[in-house]
Structure 1
């Protein structure tokens, strides 16, 4: 199974970063390209089992389920359950760790998924270059404002 991983040290505090990330239904406020995010079935954006319906600026639609959220460990896990990408068995995790020397936050974002053999590179590049890297940069910019 392909796996993508990216990490960054962000200047905002762990508390600031986690307050934004833990709102699974608020991803449209910080992730570039997401125009709308609705949490289905009346659940809250921090309830395990919540499904968010994402619509990108070009009208592309995704559905993702929150699998785990820990305020103690500052982690969340989610799965793509519907996407225009050729992926299945998707599992992603975002983890925030305090930087003890100098302050700030270490953020790690990873995902594993299955896809057809000929699609590994394309899907991996999409996740890294269109979601994770710009997402981390936008998160930091938004918190610094």
Structure 2
């Protein structure tokens, strides 16, 4: 009997609520602009289009973040750039959702596809809205699924807060 060599896919979802009077229609334009992730996700330093037609499936963006880590051997902090090229797979302004896949990266993501959707909390929007970020991926070397979800959760919470703050300025 052959040993199983295929790892089970990871699947997960995190969500962040935005309070009343925020509606899904108000939040969607912030996510719909696929190349402005750096404006809303605090850990991303830069995000820009590298190929394709803006806002259309097939468009590719480059995202990067500067990570500072302590080096025990040198006693100094080391800075590195973590980056990813991501392809917009679908975008639906009626359902207020988009999906994308990571094409290339130095983060350790393999076969990573994510969907972001903005939904009214109670179906009619009276009680605010929420952003859901779901994913399916191969396991990430050196991570547990719980660790990855725990990384995404505060990232999305920060994104939601930044969007909420921007809406207050409008």
- TM-score of the two chains, using structure 1 as the length reference: 0.84
Q: Report how many aligned residue pairs link the two structures.
A: 140
- Output the CA distance in 1 between the equivalents of 2:36 and 2:125: 30
CA contact (8 A) 1:25 1:52 kept: yes
Give structure 2 stretches of 5+ with no counterpart.
1-8, 68-80, 166-170
| Aligned equivalents of 1:22, 1:32: Cα separation in 2 | 17
Structure with the higher fraction of residues in helix conformation: 1
Q: Distance in 2 between matches of 1:66 and 1:85?
A: 19
Q: 1:79 to 1:101 in 2, by over 3 A?
A: closer
Runs of 4+ deviating beyond 4 Å: none
Residue 126 of structure 2: SS of its match in structure 1? coil
Larger Rg: 2
Partner of 2:56: 47
Structure 1 residue ranges without an equivalent (≥5)? none
Query: Any idea what SS the aligned residue of 1:112 has?
Result: strand
Match of 2:161 among 138, 141, 144: 141
Is the counterpart of residue 110 in structure 1 residue 143 in structure 2? no
Deviations 1:68-103 (A, max 9, x none): 000011110000111223332211111111132633
RMSD in angstroms over aligned alpha carbons?
Answer: 2.1
* Offset at residue 119 of structure 1 (A): 4.2
* Matched position secondary structure for 2:45: strand
TM-score normalised by L of structure 2: 0.73
